[in-house]
Every structure is written in structure tokens, then in C-alpha cells.
């Protein structure tokens, strides 16, 4: 049995990382490719370098953000796992189809349903799953058993939803 506190803290952390990742990816998707590559490299850098090297720089910020469920360094390290898949998903959106819907008066909800989600859903989903697994496994606040019990239902739930959607949509 998992104590409610760490699970909620972890869920909050995952959502915070995911939303930040969405924001970063959204900003990158409208900017140039070169800038996107640079930012992606910067995001990945903390994962490649030893944590002792860069985490001290976060100390002043960490001191101010007392309400964080997990250390800021953990969140920062998980950010590329959210931002990069989402960015890859957003890059797959065909903007000519968005235009095609716009000029026939179809609004944002139709565009989301017909163009954005069909192109980007894998990236959006992966961007949620990867930081969730990363934070669950590496937060240190939960044991491995806890991580499995938090992560497996999540994966199973998402898989079930996805299967149901595939069946409902019928054959290609």
C-alpha cells in the first residue's frame, strides 16, 4: 500500500514537468529548427553531465521554491523526457491541413481532432509516460515496488484507452 503523500507529490511533479515540457515544445515548434536543436541540446546536457557539476547552480532557486514535491534538479533532469517527444509530435503536424480546415471555417476543436491529435498523439503520450517513469524510478522517494505499483496501472490504463480507441475507430 502506497502512502498517499508521495504518490500525490509524484503525480504533481509529473504533471508539472509535463506541462513545462508542453510549453517548451510549443515554443520550439514555432521557432526555427536551429534554435530547437540548440535548446534540445541544452535540455539534454544535465543528463550527460554529473549532477554534482550543475545542481549547485540551482541551489538559490531551490531555496526559494520550498513547495516543490521533488528536488528541482530531478524535475530539470526529467524535462527533456517530456519536451522532446512532445516537440517531435508537434513537428509531425501538417500545417497545410490546418490551413485547409481554417479556410472552410472549421474551428480549433476540429483542428485538434482532425489534425493535431492524429499527428501528435504518440509524442504527447510518450512525453507524459517517459517523465512519469523517469521520475518514478529515480525520485528516490518511492521504492521500486512503489514505482511499479504507480507506473504499471498508469501504463495499463493508457494502453486500455488506446486499444478501446483503436477498436472504436474501426479498420483503416
Task: From 2-10, 36-44, 91-99, 119-127, give the range in contact with another protein by CB under 8 A.
Answer: 91-99
Straight-line distance from the first to the last Cα atom of the chain, in angstroms, rounded to the nearest whole number: 42
Q: Is 99 in the site for another protein (CB under 8 A)?
A: yes
Distance CA 80, CA 55 (A): 16
Sole window of 33-41, 68-76, 79-87, 94-102 interacting with another protein (rule: CB under 8 A): 94-102
Closer of 34 and 95 to another protein (Cβ): 95
Size of the site for another protein (CB under 8 A): 15
- Separation between Cα atoms, residue 78 and residue 76, nearest integer Å: 5
Interface with another protein, residue 58, by CB under 8 A: no
CB 114 within 8 A of CB 101: yes
Residue 110 binding another protein, by CB under 8 A: yes
Of residues 117-156, those binding another protein (CB under 8 A): 118
Q: CA triplet 110, 115, 121: central angle to 5 degrees?
A: 110
For residue 5, state whether it binds another protein (rule: CB under 8 A). Answer: no
Q: Is 171 in the site for another protein (CB under 8 A)?
A: no
Alpha-carbon gap, residue 12 to 27, rounded angstroms: 23
Q: Stretches 35-43, 102-110, 137-145, 157-165: which one binds another protein (CB under 8 A)?
A: 102-110
Which residue from 3, 33, 48, 103 is in contact with another protein, where contact means CB under 8 A?
103
CA-CA distance, 101 to 110, in Å (whole number)? 8
The 3-state DSSP composition of the chain as helix, strand, coil percent (nearest 5) reads 85, 0, 15
Interface with another protein by CB under 8 A: which residues?
96-97, 99-107, 110, 114, 118, 172
Amino acid at each position: 500500500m502506497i502512502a498517499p503523500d508521495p504518490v500525490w507529490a509524484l503525480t504533481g511533479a509529473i504533471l508539472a514537468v509535463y506541462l513545462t515540457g508542453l510549453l517548451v515544445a510549443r515554443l520550439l515548434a514555432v521557432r526555427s529548427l536551429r534554435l530547437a536543436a540548440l535548446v534540445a541540446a541544452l535540455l539534454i546536457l544535465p543528463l550527460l553531465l554529473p549532477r554534482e557539476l550543475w545542481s549547485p547552480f540551482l541551489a538559490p532557486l531551490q531555496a526559494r521554491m520550498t513547495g516543490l514535491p521533488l528536488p528541482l534538479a530531478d524535475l530539470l533532469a526529467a524535462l527533456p523526457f517530456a519536451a522532446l517527444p512532445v516537440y517531435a509530435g508537434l513537428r509531425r503536424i501538417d500545417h497545410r491541413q490546418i490551413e485547409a480546415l481554417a479556410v472552410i471555417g472549421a474551428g480549433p476543436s476540429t483542428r485538434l481532432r482532425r489534425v493535431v491529435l492524429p499527428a501528435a498523439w504518440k509524442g504527447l503520450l510518450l512525453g507524459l509516460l517517459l517523465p512519469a517513469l523517469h521520475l518514478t524510478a529515480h525520485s528516490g522517494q518511492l521504492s521500486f515496488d512503489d514505482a511499479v505499483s504507480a507506473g504499471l496501472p498508469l501504463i495499463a490504463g493508457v494502453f486500455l484507452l488506446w486499444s478501446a480507441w483503436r477498436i472504436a475507430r474501426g479498420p483503416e
